[in-house]
Amino acid sequence: MIAVIQRVSSASVEISGQRVATIGRGFLVLLGVGNEDGEEDVQWLAQKVANLRVFSDAQGQMNLGIQEVQGDIIVVSQFTLHASTKKGNRPSFIQAAKPPVAIPLYEAFVAKLEEFTQKKVQTGEFGADMQVALVNDGPVTIIIDSKNKQ
């Protein structure tokens, strides 16, 4: 499971011209579910995101988490995070999980984030053509791969 976490001052998701999610300060999380992912990945990654300390404290140090700043979260599914570009110029997505596997894990990730943060997490719509807008604060962008726990 791969997550691209962007610290935002605002973010929104639109589907077919209709806004389905909008937040102020918080995280926009792009989530890619892979073929080899399971419940252990969900648990580990959701806990990492929920406890990530990338908001500035009074001294300007990245020392505060999402709960401490009362931030919000949007999670957007993005299978393209599992793109392989080893051969040629057209990416291969064979490492991305198909919807019957990916959707339950995506939903479990959102539920775990809600459990860990004690706050409703907004989402896009799995598999939809979404327009995602954001103002990256910093910019701060963190990439976490549950298969690379370094």
Catalytic residues: 78-80
CA 31 vs CA 6, 52, 75, 141, 144: distances in Å: 11, 16, 7, 13, 10
- Establish how many alpha carbons lie within 13 A of residue 26's alpha carbon, considering only the half-sphere containing its beta carbon: 23
Token pair for 6? 């962007």
The answer to whether the beta carbons of residues 91 and 84 sit under 8 Å apart is yes
Please report where in the chains the tokens 């198909």 appear, as a residue.
98
Nearest to 29 by CA among 94, 121, 120: 121
